[in-house]
Chains A and B, each alone.
Chain A
Amino acid sequence: MRLSMDLELQDVPGQLLLALQPFRDNKANIISVVHHRDRKTPRGMIPVRFVVEMDRSKIESVNAKLKECGISVVRAGEDRLIEAVSVVLVGHVLHSDLGDTVNRIDSTGFAEVMDVSLTMTGVDEPSSAYLKIRATGKAEIQKALAILREVGVEKKLLVIEPIEAEAV
């Protein structure tokens, strides 16, 4: 399971190494560590985001160990929606019930619309919308796009999808 944890470290040498130890002890596979030195908190702490693959049952033990070391855990949770895709819709996006369009994605349980920007020019003119969809995996992104394509046909919307980076 992929988890993300936001920690705050003191700005003194050796803190990052200290923070890594509990992950190591619990056999977590570290995917990324982002050290936000430029975003010091008012208390002078440095936020660090860890993304790890590990068993969910180990999360409490890692948390406890980190606290023992004096490291505060701000947030720990499942990083569920790990893939994202951008889509542009053109047509009567709002009047064809944008809420319903978004709900068709959200109700899947594996994908959610995380961001919507809408531009409307005139009452009878087609409007344009940007949607960012996040999903639990690459296959789920494809499923969400397939749903959007169906909605596009039904509501007469032009669905502009991103080009695939790789050959499929």
Chain B
Amino acid sequence: MRDIKVSLVGYGIVGHGVVDVLTRKKKMLKDMGLNLKLISVTDHTGTVMAEDGVDADRILGEKTLANVATTSMKGKEAISAIDSDLVIEVTPTNIVHGQPGLGHMEAALSSGKHVVTSNKGPLVVSYSRLKKLAEDNGVMMKFEATVGGTMPLISLVERTLVGNTIFGIRGIFNGTCNYILTRMTEEGIPYTHALSEAQDMGIAEADPSYDVEGVDTAGKVVILANSLFDMNIKYSDVDVTGITGVTPEALALAKKRGYAIKLIGDVPALTVRPTLVPLGSPIAVSGTLNSAAIYTDLSGTITVTGLGAGSIETASAILTDIISIYRTKQIDAIF
């Protein structure tokens, strides 16, 4: 049995999901030979620490850690002070400066801790620097949850399709936009109406611009371009058009001719724009689903689809990344 000390930084929707999933899967992980101990959980109010593992029942009912914190340490200070093997970084994303996640990841990697994250901002702002930091310190940085949520994409390309040349990836990477476009098509309702419906259902934020202006999708395009295509690009290199200009009439005209209109991110074209997708195409998924078509030389086109967001779903991608770090280490040990 291998003991792994894990610190969680960020205790929002995804953070709660991570605590829940790690608790639920404790036995399964032990069967794999991994004794995962969540030794600390940190948010903007403080940190809960427990050497034998944080009691999930005690904190899952709390929205923040304000009432249960055992120390006032926060952020980088907590990451440096706590002796963990792996840091899960799930603080709110910022695509402009990457903070606070960027500082957290730098602190973790430079002190020799693996990083698993769902936070796009730091990767969009400085992927290559973080990757080098991980390499220099002999640790891994995994980020499957940043693109397409639970839909396997990065690991699919890096592991399962390894040996293929990847020509490109196109897909729907934002469930909020896909939901709005789907509802506008189904009901013939205007954009503003579909948006307010999505907000009422908790699918869109109060300030939806991040999703509907295509910013979120463009961030994912940057991550895919840098991590899978070695392109070393910035957010400003992506040509972005959101969905706010799409009308129900345009959707109806397209549908009549056998097309859906979807917000499609394209790598390596580096575009995000509303696009006509044939109705029978496997990437023309509806509702909040995400999808991606991966164009390869040997395997043809591979299409994946799945839930792009959600607390437990995102946590599931994080769990997969954690397990894969230790499985890879096992394989390395054989050689």
Q: Which residues of A contact B (CB under 8 A)?
A: 86-88, 90-91, 117, 119, 121, 126-130, 132, 158, 160-164, 166-168
A-B contact pairs, 21 of them (CB 8 A): A87-B276, A88-B250, A90-B247, A119-B250, A121-B247, A127-B249, A128-B250, A129-B253, A130-B254, A158-B241, A158-B246, A160-B261, A160-B273, A160-B276, A161-B275, A163-B170, A163-B275, A163-B283, A164-B170, A166-B295, A167-B167
B278-295 at interface with A (beta carbon < 8 Å): 278, 281, 283, 295
15 A-B pairs besides A119-B250, A130-B253, A160-B246 with CB distance below 8 A are: A86-B254, A88-B259, A90-B245, A91-B245, A117-B256, A121-B249, A126-B245, A130-B254, A158-B274, A160-B254, A162-B277, A163-B275, A163-B281, A164-B170, A167-B168
- CB of A162 to closest CB in B, whole Å: 4
B259 touches A90 (CB 8 A): no
- CB of B309 to closest CB in A, whole Å: 23
Beta-carbon contacts of B169-188 to A below 8 Å, as 1s and 0s?
01000000000000000000
Let me know if B269 is at the binding interface, CB within 8 A: yes
List of B residues within 8 angstroms of A162 by Cβ: 259, 275-278
List of A residues within 8 angstroms of B250 by Cβ: 88, 90, 119, 128, 158, 160
- CB of B81 to closest CB in A, whole Å: 48
List of A residues within 8 angstroms of B252 by Cβ: 119
Let me know if B264 is at the binding interface, CB within 8 A: yes
The docked-state distance in angstroms from the alpha carbon of A128 to that of B253 is 8
List of B residues within 8 angstroms of A91 by Cβ: 245
Q: Which residues of B contact A (CB under 8 A)?
A: 167-168, 170, 241, 245-247, 249-250, 252-254, 256-257, 259, 261, 264, 269, 273-278, 281, 283, 295
* Chain A residue, CB-CB nearest to B262: A163
The docked-state distance in angstroms from the alpha carbon of A66 to that of B148 is 60
Q: Given A160-B254, A162-B259, A167-B167, decide whether A90 and B246 contact each other with a Cβ distance below 8 A.
A: yes
B253 touches A117 (CB 8 A): yes
* Chain B residue, CB-CB nearest to A132: B257
List of B residues within 8 angstroms of A168 by Cβ: 168, 269
The docked-state distance in angstroms from the alpha carbon of A130 to that of B306 is 31
A119 touches B246 (CB 8 A): no
List of A residues within 8 angstroms of B167 by Cβ: 167
List of A residues within 8 angstroms of B168 by Cβ: 167-168
Q: Given A126-B245, A160-B276, decide whether A88 and B295 contact each other with a Cβ distance below 8 A.
A: no
The docked-state distance in angstroms from the alpha carbon of A163 to that of B276 is 6
The docked-state distance in angstroms from the alpha carbon of A23 to that of B25 is 70
List of B residues within 8 angstroms of A88 by Cβ: 250, 253-254, 259, 261, 276
List of A residues within 8 angstroms of B295 by Cβ: 166-167
The docked-state distance in angstroms from the alpha carbon of A132 to that of B273 is 20
List of A residues within 8 angstroms of B278 by Cβ: 162-163
List of A residues within 8 angstroms of B254 by Cβ: 86, 88, 130, 160
Of B250, B254, B274, chain A has the most CB atoms within 10 Å of the CB of B250
The docked-state distance in angstroms from the alpha carbon of A168 to that of B264 is 15
The docked-state distance in angstroms from the alpha carbon of A88 to that of B243 is 14
Q: Select one of A86, A119, A126 contacting B257, CB under 8 A.
A: A86
A128 touches B249 (CB 8 A): yes
B277 touches A163 (CB 8 A): yes
- CB of B91 to closest CB in A, whole Å: 34
- CB of B243 to closest CB in A, whole Å: 10
The docked-state distance in angstroms from the alpha carbon of A161 to that of B249 is 16
* Chain B residue, CB-CB nearest to A127: B249
The docked-state distance in angstroms from the alpha carbon of A106 to that of B232 is 40
List of A residues within 8 angstroms of B274 by Cβ: 158, 160
The docked-state distance in angstroms from the alpha carbon of A133 to that of B168 is 26
List of B residues within 8 angstroms of A128 by Cβ: 247, 249-250, 253
B276 touches A119 (CB 8 A): no
Of B167, B245, B256, chain A has the most CB atoms within 10 Å of the CB of B245
The docked-state distance in angstroms from the alpha carbon of A98 to that of B246 is 19
List of B residues within 8 angstroms of A126 by Cβ: 245, 247
List of A residues within 8 angstroms of B256 by Cβ: 117, 130
- CB of A46 to closest CB in B, whole Å: 29
Of A119, A164, A167, chain B has the most CB atoms within 10 Å of the CB of A167
B245 touches A158 (CB 8 A): yes
- CB of B59 to closest CB in A, whole Å: 45
The docked-state distance in angstroms from the alpha carbon of A88 to that of B262 is 12
List of A residues within 8 angstroms of B170 by Cβ: 163-164
A130 touches B257 (CB 8 A): yes
- CB of B202 to closest CB in A, whole Å: 28
- CB of A95 to closest CB in B, whole Å: 15
* Chain B residue, CB-CB nearest to A164: B170
